[in-house]
Amino acid sequence: MSNSKPEFIGIFGGTFDPVHKGHTEIIKNLFELIPLDKVIVIPNGIPPHRQASVSSEERLKMVSSAFKSSEKVVIDNREIKKKDPSYAISTLREIIEENPEHSLVWIMGSDAFAEIDSWYQWEDFIKMINIIVMVRPNHEIPIESEAYKLLQKSHTIDKDSLSSGKEKILLLKIRPIEISSTDIRNKIYKGSDVSEFLLEEVNELINKGNLYQ
Ligand code: ATP
């Protein structure tokens, strides 16, 4: 165990297929709204729910270049290195074990949260950590969903309470950004210019590698 001062650390997983300005902007905005010391960005390896369209290594390269100027962001390649499907709960268990002196919070968009009941052992997962759900344009949490029920039960408006305890969920209004990886992949496939949605370095990697064609 290290003697370092306790930190407040966010964990942000995703397929990042590809990583876009939405991802980098929401993390920038998050640092303005929540006093996080660091965010660990974890590209999913073999997502249990869907297949990515480019290799894990290519996605990792894009994510690393997108966040390379963000000093408080650390890219974690543990899920990409695993051969088997990686579940959020296993990753979370590992990170909790590695950071006994730090406070952790899980970060996700409202679309991902709306489907949390499809996650492996989700009921155990939500008992292990506090969660920040960032409101994403056009992604309501359906009233009849498990996610909605969960929000009613565990919702907090107290940002300061997030760095302690567990099972609290903060619904956070961020600067809305209407960009998605799906839209970007479809646009590239159709031959449209997507440079406005991507960081320059990521756009270059996509062009050089002829990705998503
Ligand atoms: P796809 O269109 O393939 O589903 P995506 O744009 O949602 O991709 P992901 O890599 O799946 O990108 O997203 C990682 C995380 O970032 C998820 O929790 C997602 O909800 C969140 N997220 C992505 N884009 C935005 C956005 N524009 N606003 C808020 N949250 C976002």
CATH fold group of domain 8-178: Rossmann fold (3.40.50)
Determine which residue's CA is closest to atom 25 belonging to ligand 1: 22
Determine which residue's CA is closest to atom 13 belonging to ligand 1: 14
- Per-residue pLDDT band at 3 (split at 50, 70, 90): low
pLDDT for 18 beyond 80: yes
Contact, 16 vs 181, CB < 8 A? yes
pLDDT for 34 beyond 80: yes
pLDDT at residue 2 in the model: 53
Give the ranges where the chain is alpha helix by DSSP (H): 21-33, 56-66, 78-81, 88-98, 110-114, 122-127, 146-154, 181-190, 200-208
Structural tokens at position 31: 């640092």
pLDDT at residue 80 in the model: 93
Q: Identify residue 132 by its one-letter amino acid code.
A: I
- Please give the C-alpha separations between residue 112 and each of 147, 154, 196, in angstroms, as whole numbers: 10, 17, 24
Q: Which of 108, 12, 21, 7 has its CA nearest to residue 62? A: 21
Sheet holding 73-75, edge to edge: 73-75, 38-43, 8-14, 103-109, 130-134, 169-172, 155-156
Contact, 120 vs 104, CB < 8 A? no
Average pLDDT over residues 164-168: 96
pLDDT digits 0-9 by tens, 54-91: 889 999 999 999 999 999 999 999 999 998 878 999 99
Pocket around ligand 1 at a 6 A CB cut-off: 14-17, 22-23, 26, 108-109, 111-112, 134, 136, 177, 179-182
pLDDT at residue 53 in the model: 72
Average pLDDT over residues 41-62: 81
Q: Which of 67, 1, 85 has its CA nearest to residue 30? A: 67
The structural domains of the chain, with segments of one domain joined by +, span 8-178
pLDDT at residue 49 in the model: 54
pLDDT at residue 84 in the model: 81
pLDDT digits 0-9 by tens, 100-146: 999 999 999 999 999 999 999 999 999 999 999 999 988 989 999 99
pLDDT at residue 52 in the model: 57
Average pLDDT of the chain to the nearest whole number: 94
* Distance separating alpha carbons of residues 147 and 109, to the nearest angstrom: 12
pLDDT at residue 83 in the model: 80
Determine which residue's CA is closest to atom 8 belonging to ligand 1: 181
| Residues above pLDDT 70, as percent of the chain | 95
| CA atoms within 13 A of residue 12's CA, in its CB half-sphere | 29
pLDDT digits 0-9 by tens, 141-165: 999 999 999 999 999 999 999 999 9
